[in-house]
Amino acid sequence: MYVVGVTGGIGSGKTTVTNLFQTHGIDVVDADVIARSIFQPGSDALLHVQERFGDRALLETGELNRAWLRERVFTHPEDKAWLNQLTHPLIREQILAALKQAQSPYVILSAPLLVENKLTALCDRVLVVDVTEAMQIERTRQRDDVSAQQVSAIMQAQASRIERLQAADDVLDNNGTPEALVEPVERLHRFYLQQVEQQLQ
């Protein structure tokens, strides 16, 4: 299976870009969706979290209290390390299973933290959706109704623009209009199809 990793910082346009690849019939595996799904009620992961932190880590409904856990790991690095050790292998395993199920000629793995979490190891090719930091802040604020400081704090916890670009095989500039993405995506799609062909030969 030929895997194209798509990454970019918060609000860079990963979803916008992967939606365009989907119009070419390409399957997309979203690491964020998988990461959220491992804490389903009754899951081993949720049980482990409850054992460590008690009921304060759960909502009254029994679901994971994501806001509490996010705050906890933000202020307790040892808990962050513990949580990563619990979740990363599970997420990786489920990503691999989802990639294997893909039916398209190649498959996209979309992950905001592709570089940070070394998911690049699962990819044949890495495509970075690149925008200026000012644009990231502006678009995220428009979408999520958050402050510039909140967006900046999230950006601080992610790889820098430079670090991400260093991991890139291909770069898609998303500083322009959404329409300006159509042609470059089409070009990349044809290029990836060629790569798949070559791999088969």
Token readout for 68 is: 């509490």
Minimum distance of ligand ATP from residue 48's CB (angstroms):
26
Query: Minimum Å distance from CB 126 to ligand ATP?
Result: 15
Exposure of 20 in the CB half-sphere (CA atoms within 13 A)? 20
33: left (phi over 0), alpha (psi -120 to 50) or beta: alpha
DSSP, collapsed to helix, strand or coil, labels residue 169 as coil
Which residue from 39, 174, 188, 192 is in contact with ligand ATP, where contact means CB under 6 A? 174
69 alpha carbon, distance to own chain's centre: 19
Q: Is residue 112 a contact point for ligand ATP (CB under 6 A)?
A: yes
> What whole-number distance in Å separates Cα of residue 84 and Cα of residue 162?
24
Per CB under 6 A, the list member of 56, 66, 143, 187 interacting with ligand ATP is 143
Closest distance to ligand ATP from the beta carbon of 180 (Å): 7
**Is residue 8 within the footprint of ligand ATP (CB under 6 A)?**
yes
Is 111 an interacting residue with respect to ligand ATP (CB under 6 A)? no
Binding site for ligand ATP (CB under 6 A): 8, 10-16, 112, 139-140, 143, 174, 176-178
